[in-house]
Amino acid sequence: MEREKPETEPTAGRVEWAVVPSDIGPLLLAATDRGLVSVAFHADERGRERALGRLAGAFGGALVESASGRLAGPIRQVGAYFDGSLRRFDVKLDWSLVTGFNRQVLRELAGTVPYGTVVGYGELARRVGQPTAAQAVGAAMGSNPLPLVVPCHRVVESDGGIGGFGGGLETKRRLLALEGVLPEPLF
């Protein structure tokens, strides 16, 4: 019987990737045999090359462009999210690019902050038993390899401010508007 590698250890197997259009610009989705492992915003040529370089460094295996197989479900669900018919992603996730506290925070976020709601950085820190770790929660959001699917755009400042976002503040505003948390921009 072959020993299964722990989920924290990236495998050297094939990583499939595809760039898909969205209302916030092109997204690069990547999956391993364990599940969706990466979502990258702004996947124009330069952004795509950066994302693929990070994946190659993490996995060391072959990167294969493919919009079928492993990525068919995630691509379909991303489209449904943006057309308003999907409120909860239901795809298998590969958590191997995130460990420790960051993984704990991201799993809590994914499991407890539904579509159309927000949570403060401090509140999320309290939920994982680290009430003084609001800044560390912010760092976890900034290193989230699965944004959109693990909805770091739903984490905001306790004083009502929008907070930061690795995909850019305009992207965060648009995602929160799509979910009805913020009003749609007038222009």
Dihedral sign for Cα 89, 91, 96, 99, please.
Answer: positive
Dihedral sign for Cα 80, 94, 137, 123, please.
Answer: positive
Report the alpha-carbon distance of residue 34 to residue 10 in Å, rounded.
10
Q: Catalytic residue, from 137, 152, 175, 178: name it.
A: 152
Contact yes or no for 28/51 (Cβ under 8 A):
yes
Tokens of 67: 């919009």
Report the alpha-carbon distance of residue 171 to residue 42 in Å, rounded.
10
Report the alpha-carbon distance of residue 6 to residue 3 in Å, rounded.
9
- Respond yes or no: is residue 21 known to be catalytic: no
Tokens of 43: 């996947």
Q: Which residues are catalytic?
A: 152
